[in-house]
Structures are given as C-alpha cells and as structure tokens.
Amino acid sequence: MRAIASEASLRHPLPSLRRRWRGRVWLALSCALFAQSAQAARTFDVGPGADAYGSVQAAIEAAVAQGDAATIRIAAGTWRGVVDVPPGAPALRLTGAGATQTRIVHDHDAARIDPRSGQPFGTYGSATMFVRADDFHAEHLTIANDAGPVGQAVALVVDGTRASFDGVHLLGHQDTLYLRKAGTRAWFRDCRIEGTVDYVFGAATALFERCTLHSVGDGYLAAPSTPAEQAHGFVFRDCTITAAPAVTRVHLGRPWRPHGATRFERCRIDAPVPSEGWHDWGKPANRDTARFAEHANTGTGSALQGRVSWLRDTDAGPDTATLMQDWRPFE
C-alpha cells in the first residue's frame, strides 16, 4: 500500500503539493499567533491587583528573566525604593500615569552607611534609579531623591547608552542626574530637572530638548566631565532655565574635568545667572580646556556682556544627527 500511495503521488503531484502548502500556511499562521501572544505577554504592570507586581523592581526582574524587550506600566502612586536596571537587560520601556502621578522615590545620600557593606553609599551608590543597560526608555513619571540638601544624593544614574526620557521629572538637590560614562548617549525631551549644585553631571553626550532646568538653591547647573577625545558633552536646546524665588546665583556650569563640554542654545534663561555665567571650579588651568558655549539664548540671564573670556564660542552648535547619530527614540 505504501508503494502504491507513493506511485499515485508521483502520478498526481498537485494534491500533495496543496497539502504541503496548507501545512506551511498553517505553520506560519501559528507562529504569527504565538509571536503576537508572546508580544502581549511582554507587558508588566505595577500597581494594585492580583495580576500586578507590588514594586517597580519586581517587575523589572521579571522582565529581565523573560529576556525580551518589554513595557512596564507603573500605576499612579509613590513607589519607594531603589530601582536597578542591570547590565545586559533587554530593552525596557517604563511608562507612568503622568509625571505628577507616578513617582519613584528614595532617600539615600552619599554619606549614609550602606548596611550591606558598612561603608558610605558614595555619590554613585546614593541613586534612586540605576539604568545600567542599553536601549532604555522612560516616560510620564518622576524619579526623585528626597534626602534633601544633605550633600550628594542622586536621583538617576545612567550608565547604559541610548537612554531616552520623555516627559520625566528628575528631582533632587545636589547631583540629581548622573550621566556617568563617556561614549554613551542620552536624550531628554520635555523633561523637568531640579537641583542645586552640579545637578546635571557626568561624561556622556546628552541632548536636552524643550526641558525645564529649575534651581531650588544657589549653585551650578551643569558639571561635565567630558573627556578630551569626545566631541560633545551636554547640549541644552530650546530649554527653559528657572529658579526658585529665594535663589540668588546660578552659574550655568563648571568643568568637573578639564575638558568638560556644555552648550546652551535657543534657551530661555530666566534664572539669576551672574554676568560671568560660568565657573572654573577654582582651577585656572581649566580655562584653557573647558568647552562652554552659548548661542541665541534669551531671558534675563542670557546677556553675553561680562561673560568669562574663555567662553568657547557663540555660534550655532551641532545638529541632532551629529549628536545622536542614527538613533531616533522619539520617531
């Protein structure tokens, strides 16, 4: 019977081909349905309810264990505790219910003793959130360190590259946002960043578009540590620079490392910026190497008369393609 069937198939191949075709179509449809199901399963909820995780960190750990790109939806509320996106994590997207509604908060500071080691947390270890993986995105939430004016107390550390933030509030006092690593890129759009001293600092290349930078005490806005071989540091474009009513002096920046690079362009500067604008960190040699620039800014603190003689330039800066290369997280 097997030989006869085989011979029949050879004499009449079309039915056999149709059966094979139908089988392949069914397999393809099954794979597509499975892929859609898997995609749906890549959403993790944080909030009340039996099917939701009780903390942001628990949801991140579940997403990392799964190993695929995932969205983590965080309900309105204050979520207290340290959050760590570890190296090697898949592309994660954290989305909140709104920056004034979803708040990730903790209160470590550099001098506090870490009970795990018996040593102070230090600046890096004081962060509320660590983003140590690549291709991270956050939107519509707040990340805050509410330790208060006690010295270094970081809200967000970004170690990974291609980290993007849309409509996120970063709140703290000293050292609010730490863009630590050279060679990495970060992009902030429509965000609000608050602090006092050096509240945007680090070695990364970062673009801030339409952000509000708000000083809640006297101090310095940016403290770049850009290495000499890196073309660009922090670029603030179309941003608004403001300050609390009691603030009397806000320098635009000072070089944490000699070749620190920061640029303000087309910004509205309404904070009380002293006429010199910039500070050399008490190291006159930094004046020969720091790369600070301003272009086409407006507002009460934008006047270039009286600026430091070592202001690098007042020309238009690099375009987005030059800064961010082929990466477009918001398109």
- CATH code for position 184: 2.160.20.10
What share of the chain has pLDDT > 90, as a percent?
86
Q: Domain check: are 254 and 132 in the same one?
A: yes
In total, how many domains does the chain have? Answer: 2
Quick one: 13 and 104 in the same domain? no
Residues 145 and 198 in one domain: yes
- Residues 188 and 257 reside in one and the same domain: yes
Please report the pLDDT score of residue 35 as a whole number. 42
Tell whether 100 is covered by a domain. Answer: yes
Each residue's pLDDT tens digit, 196-241: 999 999 999 999 999 999 999 999 999 999 999 999 999 999 999 9
pLDDT at 76: 98
If asked whether residues 228 and 163 sit together in one domain, one would say: yes
pTM above 0.85, yes or no: yes
175 compared with 31, residue with greater pLDDT: 175
Q: Flag whether 17 is in a domain.
A: yes
3 and 68 together in one domain: no
pLDDT the model gives residue 18: 47
Let me know if residue 47 belongs to a domain. no
- Selecting among 134, 175, 198, 280, the annotated active-site residue is 198
- pLDDT band at 323; cut points 50, 70, 90: very high
pLDDT tens-place string over residues 42-101: 999 999 988 999 999 999 999 999 999 999 999 999 999 999 999 999 999 999 999 999
Q: Give percent of the chain above pLDDT 70.
A: 88
Same domain, 15 and 106: no
Q: What is the pLDDT of residue 11?
A: 43
| pLDDT surpasses 70 at 22 | no
Whether residues 7 and 152 share a domain: the answer is no
> In terms of residue numbers, what domain contains 29?
1-40
The strand pairing partners of 137, in sequence order, are 93, 164
For residue 214, being part of any structural domain is answered with: yes
- Mean pLDDT value across residues 3-9: 40
Q: What pLDDT does residue 50 have?
A: 86
145 in a domain, yes or no? yes
Same domain, 26 and 123: no
Asked if the structure places residue 45 within a domain, the reply is no
My answer on whether 109 and 214 are in the same domain is yes
Instruction: Please state the rounded mean pLDDT for residues 299-312.
Output: 97
- Per DSSP, 41 falls in state T
Please determine, for residue 267, whether its predicted confidence score (pLDDT) is greater than 80. yes
Q: Identify whether 198 is a catalytic site residue.
A: yes
Q: Which residues pair with 103 in a beta bridge?
A: 78, 142
Q: What distance in Å separates the CA atoms of residue 284 and residue 269, rounded to the nearest whole number?
A: 26
Q: Is residue 282 part of a domain?
A: yes
309/26 Cα distance (integer angstroms): 72
Query: What gap in Å lies between CA 254 and CA 242, rounded to an integer?
Result: 18
pLDDT in tens, 130-174: 999 999 999 999 999 999 999 999 999 999 999 999 999 999 999
Residues 6 or more apart whose CB falls under 8 angstroms from that of 323 comprise: 185, 205, 207, 232, 235
Q: Give the Cα separation of 243 and 217 in Å (integer).
A: 8
**264 and 317 fall within a common domain:** yes
Tell me which of 159-173, 185-199, 313-327 is least confident.
313-327
Phi, psi torsion values for 28, nearest 5 degrees: -65, -40
DSSP 103-136: EEEE---TTSBPTTTSSB-HHHHT-SEEE-SSS-
The yes-or-no verdict on residue 30 having pLDDT over 90 is no
How high is the pLDDT of residue 1? Answer: 35
183 with 256, same domain? yes
- Per-residue pLDDT band for 5 (boundaries 50, 70, 90) equals very low
Q: How far apart are CA 109 and CA 224, in angstroms?
A: 21
Q: Is pLDDT larger for residue 17 or for residue 249?
A: 249
Task: Please tell me the predicted confidence (pLDDT) of residue 331.
Answer: 78
* Residue 46 domain flag: no
DSSP string, 81-94: S-EEE-TTPPPEEE
